[in-house]
Structure 1
């Protein structure tokens, strides 16, 4: 598998093909592609590629953040790529957003627009408050993971 979720991935948006089959619109820096399967499948495959299951990543995040819904998923620690869901991850309309690539969130024409560092934008039905809460949770996770990985090694072993 060539993993579709990288640090250049901005968002994973669910959609359906001509015959109702689940697909994902993968938005990357200056490109878009459509892949078979729900976004959650692509997140899971990418987590496995980078050494852990999605379930393991979620359990670790909940250990750090405490029990919560819509848990962010650290896909690739080396590239500090963390995605968060806009709704419950099991919902068909759940969009996954790359925290590191996000720039602003604003209400626009009855929708909430997420702008990325590249200037690209997506619309979501999630509230601006919900997206900002997700952003804060993801920042907490990123900070704590960075803090833990920067601890000095035990020298007297």
Structure 2
């Protein structure tokens, strides 16, 4: 099936470049088959991130703030769904393949420069990197996921622990708002 636009969903396993009539497309490997999309891999990633209220640049900036300045930066596409993706080689290269971390089942070395990766649903892909290099990319992506999930859990816990409540108001003719501490019970009775 050929599509003009596509957003990643739960079934997407890999984004693979496809060149046709001098143009770059993307083959999306899914658990249910293959789709040909008239967009580059990064356009699909950006469209998906925009759908969730982010952008590819924002995802990269966020990952960079957590992982530091590294090449071939993994990204979080959707934290709630647990969707983290990473490029196999430099995303600047048109032949770059992107893999969904949550769909990698296992992998094994074929030779010094190729690794076979088994994905959900029984498909596999042979990627043009060593097993060690793939493991590093998977580890970086797992670190990104762990840090984001840990920070989110910590922030959620801090919200639950908040015990001080305030009434915030601004009176006519006043420039600033006033803050007055109120009993938690007053808040709970509403």
TM-score under structure 2 normalisation? 0.77
Structure 2 Cα separation of the partners of residues 131 and 8 of structure 1: 22
The equivalent of 2:140 in structure 1 is 137
Q: 1:103-132 deviations in whole A, cap 9, x for unaligned? A: 112123773111113221011112211111
The equivalent of 1:98 in structure 2 is 100
Is 2:5–2:39's contact at 8 Å kept on the other side of the alignment? no
Is 1:3–1:49's contact at 8 Å kept on the other side of the alignment? no
Structure 2 Cα separation of the partners of residues 3 and 32 of structure 1: 12
The equivalent of 1:65 in structure 2 is 67
Is 1:104–1:114's contact at 8 Å kept on the other side of the alignment? yes
The equivalent of 2:42 in structure 1 is 40
Structure 1 Cα separation of the partners of residues 11 and 61 of structure 2: 25
Choose from 110, 118, 123 the match for 2:121. Answer: 118
Q: Report the number of matched residues.
A: 156
Gap regions ≥5 residues in structure 2: 166-190
Which of structures 1 and 2 has the bigger CA Rg?
Answer: 2
The equivalent of 2:131 in structure 1 is 128
Alignment RMSD: 1.7
Gap regions ≥5 residues in structure 1: none
Deviation at 1:3, TM superposition (A): 4.2
